[in-house]
Structure 1
Amino acid sequence: MILIRCLLLAAACALLLFCPPSSFPFPLPLLLTDGQLGRALKFTLALWLVRDINAGLTRWAENRWMWTANGGVWNWSKEIAVVTGGSQGIGAAVVKSLVSHGITVAVLDVQPLSEELQNDKSDLIRFYQCDITSRDAVRQTGEAIRSHHGAPTILINNAGIGNANSILDVTPARLRAIFDVNLLSHWNTVQQFLPDMIANKKGHILSVASLAAFVGLANMTDYCCTKAGLMAFHEGLTQELKHRYGAPQVLTSIVYPSWTQTNLTKAIEKGIRGSGASIVEPADVGKAIAAKVISSTSGQLVLGPGLAASVRALPMWVQEWIRDRMAQVVTVNATTASAAA
């Protein structure tokens, strides 16, 4: 669709720029012949063309320089997805959305399934109690999943915890825990499930980050660091699949949710709303993540203000003004074992 629109816009721009009005077999509207209006129209069409070309190149790059999605290799009723932290919150919403497409889901979590998931009648949800920060536990769970269902083709690294502590107040134990769960565990799960994807030239690894990856927040420095690190992990994994493992067919995506209604946001909800930000429901995030999987395309998904991903391209004074506005969002001391924004 973008390619067709670009061709049409390019043709329109060429006609207006290089063909005099007298050469047309029919009289042109005043809008096209008037000097100022005509120039404004040409400028608008040119900007529209540049925007669409940029969007098309972005999609092309995200899709590993392939023009079409490789959707033909996916048979959702036969796919196995692994979702970490899938018992509650965003993870549970992702599980429900994937199951609605007929995908079998293996949930890895230290917490039991929510009552809603336990009551699910689809018979497509399998729960594995697993501490994803333990390499050995992930290995044992991976072996069990392959034995029961086969090799997973979809890995959604969703598990996350959050602290609301200042740099001086956070304890070494909580600091280690947040990095272990939010970032280091991705090495455990990817090392466990990626080899089969590479061998089969098919797979999709999706990481759940946060808009906090783009803006450092007072009293959430550790959380922001893990999410910024996750962005680097996603980029490095993408490059290694293309240039080290010879498996560009294995898709990689990263999702940046905005503030989402979880245990952590309950403690700081007043500050969030005071900053003018909204709080979205986990179901909305879960549906968006599942839709990205079903699209069979790589790329990033920003679930919030589009400007957030570009904030570091803004002048420094604007960046600092944004961070100052966010400084009063987190003013309490709190911890949570649930995925945050």
Structure 2
Amino acid sequence: HKVLLLALFLGTLLYAYAEAAVRLLLPARRKAVGGELVLLTGAGRGLGRATALEFARRQSRLVLWDVDTHGLRETAAECERLGATVHTFVVDCSKREEIYGAAEKVKKDIGDVSILVNNAGVITAADLLSTQDHQIEKMFEVNILAHIWTTRAFLPTMMDNNRGHIVTVASAAGHFVTSFMVAYCSSKFAAVGFHKALTEELSTLGKDGIKTTCLCPVFINTGFVKNPSTRLGRILEVDEVVKELMEGILTNKKMVFVPSNQRFALLLER
């Protein structure tokens, strides 16, 4: 049994190296996103804002959601300065009714969303018994349930056209665990599982034109946590993460680890 597991591990490791070598020698073709209708949740600050700006530079049409009105306006103004068409909606992604209501307005008044970026997320760093009930509920409502509600809202048209892209912003905490973040890690494990299961289901249904990407960075310096530190690795800056995310979207990469060595750490853990 141990010999079989070792052989499986070595085979997987060799495959990963071979895949990396092929990608190095034959860079993946990048798709154009100009003119695509891109909806981003949590667009008012941090990674959401930076991702919106990257799409704006590529002349995508933008639909930006956030619960923070001021941050949303600032992101929209920056994107418009880059020449993008922008529509904004103040949406609390912890509330299913608000998500479905805003989605209906988008579909009726703007058009069909072809790229959905589920980026909104919340975090509370505390041991399990110190984390309050409402904080646990909020993390699950925003970090995973919102992904499901938005996908259910916009997937039917993508299915009809067999065309689209669904991006799940998860975390390294969706693969590796860390103390004092039990509820957060649990919600991010759920987000990774959602991405994997959705990807498999779309494949089973023959909807190969709908692409999926899951972003799993170690913790990012977005200001949500003061003086952040973690055993998962160094704290990342937003710009380096959004660069890897956009590369993953443009090349239809299913799983984007930042830094990329997480992939090998995951293999070793398994």
> Could you tell which deviates more after superposition, 106-115 or 119-128?
119-128
Residue 286 (structure 1) aligns with? 242
- The reply on whether 1:309 has 2:255 as its aligned counterpart is no
Q: 1:85 aligns with which of 42, 49, 52?
A: 42
Residue 256 (structure 1) aligns with? 216
- The reply on whether 1:268 has 2:192 as its aligned counterpart is no
With CA pairs under 8 Å and 6+ residues apart, which has the higher RCO, 1 or 2? 1
Shift of 1:238: 0.6
Shift of 1:135: 2.5
Q: Any idea what SS the aligned residue of 2:199 has? A: helix
Q: How do 1:293-304 and structure 2 match up within 5 A?
A: 293-295=249-251, 297-304=252-259
Residues 52 and 279 of structure 1: is their aligned pair in 2 closer, same or farther, counting only changes over 3 Å? closer
Residues 56 and 75 of structure 1: is their aligned pair in 2 closer, same or farther, counting only changes over 3 Å? closer
Q: 2:126 aligns with which of 156, 165, 174?
A: 165
Shift of 1:194: 0.7
Shift of 1:288: 2.2
Unaligned runs of 5+ in 1: 1-46, 60-67, 317-341
Contact 1:214 1:311 in 2 (8 A): no
Cα deviation, 1:25-61, whole Å, max 9, x if unaligned, reads xxxxxxxxxxxxxxxxxxxxxx9xx5588417998xx
Q: How do 1:198-217 and structure 2 match up within 5 A?
A: 198-217=159-178
Shift of 1:116: 5.1
Letter in 2 for 1:233: F
Highest Rg: 1 or 2?
1
TM-score by length of 1: 0.67
For the aligned residue pairs, the C-alpha RMSD in angstroms reads 2.8
Q: How do 1:186-197 and structure 2 match up within 5 A?
A: 186-197=147-158
Shift of 1:313: 4.3
Contact 2:171 2:217 in 1 (8 A): yes
Residue 194 (structure 2) aligns with? 233
Shift of 1:95: 0.2
- The reply on whether 1:183 has 2:137 as its aligned counterpart is no
Contact 1:79 1:104 in 2 (8 A): yes
Contact 1:132 1:188 in 2 (8 A): no
Q: 2:115 aligns with which of 127, 134, 154?
A: 154
